[in-house]
Amino acid sequence: MFFPFDEKSNIGSELRRLKISTRNKVRAISSANDKESVGLMNNLRKKCNVTELYQAEKAVKALSVGSKLLPELFPKEPQFREDFIRLDEFDLNKKLSYMDNVIKSNK
């Protein structure tokens, strides 16, 4: 798989924001099949703090075009059916922190 890293590339800019270890995990998630990527994504969600997780999820979305692993956070059209994969839940504090981070990042 080829990952472009030029200045204009959204993929390259998303990956550059991550630590190298997280960057490698994101690449593994995007190149794995659906079943493997769910396990890898759940593992990443357990180990990362919310800021790092948000950046990693943005990179996964940029790399995995057409994948149903992660839903859009703010879809332009309403979703009438759930056609994405359910991942393990966070605890309440992590959910609230994640939502705060998403809101601050999307002002």
Read off the pLDDT of residues 19-72 as tens digits, 9 standing for 90 and up. 888 999 998 998 888 789 889 999 999 999 999 999 998 888 888 776 777 877
Which residue, 34, 27, 40, 24, is CA-closest to 1?
A: 27
Q: How far apart are CA 64 and CA 48, in angstroms?
A: 20
CB under 8 A, 24+ apart: contacts of 23-26: 23/59, 25/56, 26/56, 26/59, 26/60, 26/63
Read off the pLDDT of residues 66-97 as tens digits, 9 standing for 90 and up. 677 787 777 788 877 777 778 889 899 999 99
**pTM of structure:** 0.75
Question: In the block, which residue shows the tokens 């993929």?
Answer: 11
